[in-house]
């Protein structure tokens, strides 16, 4: 038997109110807000967050593969999944791949993972989807798009969600697209997208599934499906015979926004958080065709409840107060910056140090037992040479021993909060505090690790760990 064995999600800390957009551009202010990735986040870093959430309390060395779905890969050439796998500290003898270019990528990856486990080539396969789509300023998409990530673990044992059936359609349909040379997505006329694309494809896949498995809306406790926009989402549910009040999963449009290839999976995570053993869920995704699954929740679901998931991530938030800040975060303008030397980077150094730069390993001295970060050759406590075990520190909490708020350091989000963190169980981390409210920082406050994009020196995405105040 193959099924979903765990779930996780991530929503960035910052929310921009649709009111802020209306104040910037004029016009009617929609209700609600959308999640905006911090300046040091991208689809890759968000995928590490949802993946870690999904694997909470699990042995990461048991994972046999990782598929990463996104339409906004940090690297256009060079695999992103291999970076995520290293960051979340998976084994080396695993399968990794990126599923890019379609908002349906998440379920395409899910299907591939199910097939891999079903065929016996893997026992546990992680699927992460994340998007950080930058809409054109003052466009309809700007009020719609949000950033976020979800992850599902597919396995052959301890199944929390059984997969009772599935169907797929591949369809050539030009609704929303972005060419290599485009900065923002383009779209054809809305009515064409809605009638011939969104509604038509989802109706087709659902009716195919209903026929194939002889089921009807009454057989499902929840219908979780891709939303093009809020209105059409409700319309489709009604058309298919679902009760919009009780049977339809909220598409998160007024709270997170449309998260592209992560959207349907994030909705599924939200549904699973509320699901009871025995619930049957109809799960459907759209984009260049459609995918649909019949899912059945088992008793095992109770064992994977300690996730941040959607609920806790939604509750933990900070207001992004101005559009100017947002412009900085997404680097949407040409800036008059202070003259400064270029950020240093070296692929060779980052590669040599990958075990601590990416996997966040510290050294534990076999002689004196102390933990130190970064990894050392000679013990800083007892001076023993090369006698260490590697230990992963990224899943430990820490306390902020001391800090400062640096206005001189170049940053799109001043001040840079320099942080000296004492790690639970030993070791100290000299780092930057991100996702912070500068009014609410104090020495000895608890913090946690988070993986971020640090700078772009030498044309490289230079990633590293930071800390943040513990979320929710």
Interface ranges with other proteins (CB under 8 A): 338-341, 343-346, 349-350, 353, 357, 370, 372-374, 376, 380-381, 401-411, 415-416, 418, 420, 422, 426-428, 430, 432, 443-444, 454-455, 457, 460, 462-464
221 CA to centre of own chain: 26
Angle at 174 between CA 186 and CA 248, to 5 degrees: 90
- The answer to whether 168 touches 291, Cβ cutoff 8 Å, is yes
For residue 334, the minimal CB distance to other proteins (Å) is 18
- Cβ closest to other proteins, residue 215 vs residue 405: 405
- Cβ closest to other proteins, residue 96 vs residue 462: 462
- The answer to whether 181 touches 76, Cβ cutoff 8 Å, is no
- The answer to whether 16 touches 36, Cβ cutoff 8 Å, is yes
- Cβ closest to other proteins, residue 368 vs residue 470: 368
- Cβ closest to other proteins, residue 169 vs residue 460: 460
For residue 204, the minimal CB distance to other proteins (Å) is 48
- Cβ closest to other proteins, residue 184 vs residue 381: 381
For residue 407, the minimal CB distance to other proteins (Å) is 6
Length of the chain: 472
Q: Give the sign of the dihedral formed by CA 325, CA 20, CA 471, CA 148.
A: negative
* 261 Cβ contact list (under 8 Å, min separation 6): 69, 70, 71, 99, 102, 103, 104, 105, 106, 129, 130, 131, 287
* 443 Cβ contact list (under 8 Å, min separation 6): 400, 401, 402, 403
- Cβ closest to other proteins, residue 1 vs residue 347: 347
Q: E strands within 178-262?
A: 186-187, 222-225
- Cβ closest to other proteins, residue 246 vs residue 442: 442
40, exposed or middle or buried, with CB in 10 Å at 0-12, 13-18, 19+? buried
For residue 57, the minimal CB distance to other proteins (Å) is 26
- Cβ closest to other proteins, residue 110 vs residue 360: 360
As a whole number of angstroms, the distance between CA 154 and CA 122 comes to 10
For residue 87, the minimal CB distance to other proteins (Å) is 13
For residue 315, the minimal CB distance to other proteins (Å) is 29
For residue 318, the minimal CB distance to other proteins (Å) is 19
For residue 372, the minimal CB distance to other proteins (Å) is 5
- Cβ closest to other proteins, residue 213 vs residue 344: 344
For residue 416, the minimal CB distance to other proteins (Å) is 6
As a whole number of angstroms, the distance between CA 454 and CA 399 comes to 22
Q: Give the sign of the dihedral formed by CA 281, CA 11, CA 50, CA 428.
A: negative
The closest alpha carbon to 126, from 92, 156, 151, 100, belongs to 151
Please state, in angstroms and as integers, the Cα–Cα distance from residue 346 to each residue in 247, 304, 351, 352, 457, following that order.
53, 40, 9, 10, 9
389, exposed or middle or buried, with CB in 10 Å at 0-12, 13-18, 19+? exposed
């Amino acid at each position: 038997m193959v099924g979903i064995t765990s779930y996780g999600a991530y929503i960035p800390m910052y929310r921009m109110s649709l009111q802020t957009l209306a104040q910037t551009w004029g016009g009617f202010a929609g209700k609600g807000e959308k999640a905006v990735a911090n300046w040091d986040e991208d689809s890759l870093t968000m995928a590490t967050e949802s993946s870690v959430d999904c694997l909470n309390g699990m042995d990461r060395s048991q994972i046999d593969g990782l598929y990463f779905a996104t339409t906004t890969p940090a690297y256009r050439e060079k695999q992103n999944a291999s970076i995520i796998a290293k960051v979340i500290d998976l084994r080396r003898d695993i399968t990794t791949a990126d599923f890019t270019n379609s908002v349906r990528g998440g379920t395409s990856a899910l299907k591939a993972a199910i097939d891999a486990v079903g065929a016996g080539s893997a026992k546990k396969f992680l699927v992460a989807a994340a998007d950080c789509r930058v809409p054109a300023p003052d466009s309809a998409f700007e009020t719609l798009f949000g950033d976020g990530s979800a992850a599902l673990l597919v396995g052959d044992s301890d199944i929390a969600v059984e997969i009772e059936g599935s169907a797929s359609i591949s369809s050539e349909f030009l609704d929303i697209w972005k060419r290599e040379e485009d900065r923002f997505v383009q779209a054809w006329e809305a009515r064409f997208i809605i009638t011939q694309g969104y509604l038509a494809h989802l109706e087709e896949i659902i009716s195919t599934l209903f026929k194939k498995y002889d089921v009807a809306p009454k057989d499902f406790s929840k219908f979780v499906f891709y939303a093009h926009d809020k209105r059409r989402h409700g319309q489709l549910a009604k058309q298919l015979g679902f009760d919009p009040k009780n049977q339809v999963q909220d598409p998160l449009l007024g709270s997170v926004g449309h998260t592209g290839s992560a959207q349907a999976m994030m909705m599924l995570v939200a549904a699973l958080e509320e699901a009871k053993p025995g619930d049957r869920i109809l799960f459907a995704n759209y984009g260049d065709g459609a995918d649909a699954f019949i899912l059945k929740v088992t008793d095992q679901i109770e064992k994977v409840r300690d996730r941040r998931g959607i609920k806790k991530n939604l509750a933990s938030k900070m207001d992004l107060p101005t559009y100017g800040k947002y412009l900085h975060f997404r680097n949407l303008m040409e800036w008059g910056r202070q003259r400064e030397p270029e950020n240093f980077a070296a692929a060779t150094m980052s590669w040599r140090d990958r075990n601590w730069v990416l996997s966040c390993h510290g050294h534990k001295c076999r002689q004196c037992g102390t933990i130190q970060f970064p990894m050392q050759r000679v013990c800083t406590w007892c001076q023993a040479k090369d006698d260490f075990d590697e230990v992963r520190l990224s899943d430990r909490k820490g306390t902020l021993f001391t800090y400062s708020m640096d206005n001189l350091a170049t940053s799109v989000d001043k001040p840079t909060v320099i942080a000296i963190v004492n790690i639970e169980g030993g070791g100290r981390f000299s780092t930057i505090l991100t996702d912070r409210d500068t009014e609410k920082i104090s020495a000895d406050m608890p913090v946690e690790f988070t993986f971020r994009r640090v700078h772009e020196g030498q044309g490289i995405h230079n990633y590293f760990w930071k800390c943040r105040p513990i979320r929710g």
